[in-house]
Amino acid sequence: MNPKIEEYISKKEKWRKELETLRAVFTDLPVEETIKWGAPTYVYQGKNIVGLAAFRSYCGLWFFQGALLKDKKKVFINAQEGKTKAMLQWRFSSLEEIDKDLIKEYVLEAIENVKLGKEIKPDRAKKELVIPAELQQELDSNNNFKEKFETFSNSCKREYANYISEAKREETRLRRLQKIIPMILKGTGLHDKYKNC
């Protein structure tokens, strides 16, 4: 048992009994208990299975790949309709609503899905790279610059392109271009001090 989970539950005075009951479901299941995003999370083979949380008017379980479950009792809701495809929530507003055996069935099904490799991956749509005219002109006229620029990842290229195109005045865009030319020639990303490109 993870002491951080006990600490989380102790701070949720209103839902303490419910959270303890929900937590008890996981005690004899082959999951690791940890804290992620500030809340209790149950992991199987490195995959997040279920999160546990309490709010003002309810407590609940978040099934990270809930959309893959059969949901035979129709207990799930999508708390972020249009934003999440995989994660579904199961809310409880009283201790009496918690059916430990039913929850265990759902968790075991989620574990089985991990074993089978079933997973809904987030839709990481490729953002279009729009090169502003000032940057394009430099790329067209300077082969060395163009070669260096092409070595960057798309996200780094996009950061440079956005840095120039976000300036409203042409004078500012040209000043920004002059600032980034030596950075690009050195192979330095715009935000390299914060991350690797």
pLDDT at 88 over 80: yes
How far is it, in rounded angstroms, from Cα 150 to Cα 52? 45
Average pLDDT over residues 59-88: 89
3-7, 30-34, 121-125: least confident range: 121-125
Average pLDDT over residues 79-105: 90
How far is it, in rounded angstroms, from Cα 28 to Cα 179? 59
Architecture of domain 3-115: Alpha-Beta Complex (3.90)
| Residues 94 and 121: beta-carbon distance below 8 Å | no
Q: Which residue has tokens 């004078």?
A: 171
Q: 196 falls in which pLDDT band (50, 70, 90)?
A: very low
Interaxial angle between packed helices 154-165 and 170-186, expressed in degrees from 0 to 180 and rounded to the nearest 10: 150
What percent of the chain has a predicted confidence (pLDDT) above 90? Answer: 69
Number of CB atoms found within 10 A of residue 106's CB: 24
Report DSSP state, residue 121: P
Residue 26: predicted pLDDT: 95
pLDDT per residue as tens digits for the range 63-75: 999 999 999 999 9
Residue 190: predicted pLDDT: 82
Residue 30: predicted pLDDT: 95
Average pLDDT over residues 179-191: 88
Residue 194: predicted pLDDT: 52
**Residue 92: beta bridge partners?**
59
- Copy the structure tokens of residue 64: 């990270």
Q: Which residue has tokens 């005219």?
A: 133
Domain spans of the chain, in order of start: 3-115, 133-186
Kind and range of the H or E element at 43? Answer: strand 39-44
How far is it, in rounded angstroms, from Cα 149 to Cα 34? 42
What percent of the chain has a predicted confidence (pLDDT) above 70? Answer: 93
Residue 197: predicted pLDDT: 47
| Residues 98 and 22: beta-carbon distance below 8 Å | yes
* Global confidence as pTM: 0.62
Report DSSP state, residue 37: T
As a whole number of Å, the CA-based R_g of the chain is: 25
Number of CB atoms found within 10 A of residue 100's CB: 11
pLDDT at 125 over 60: no
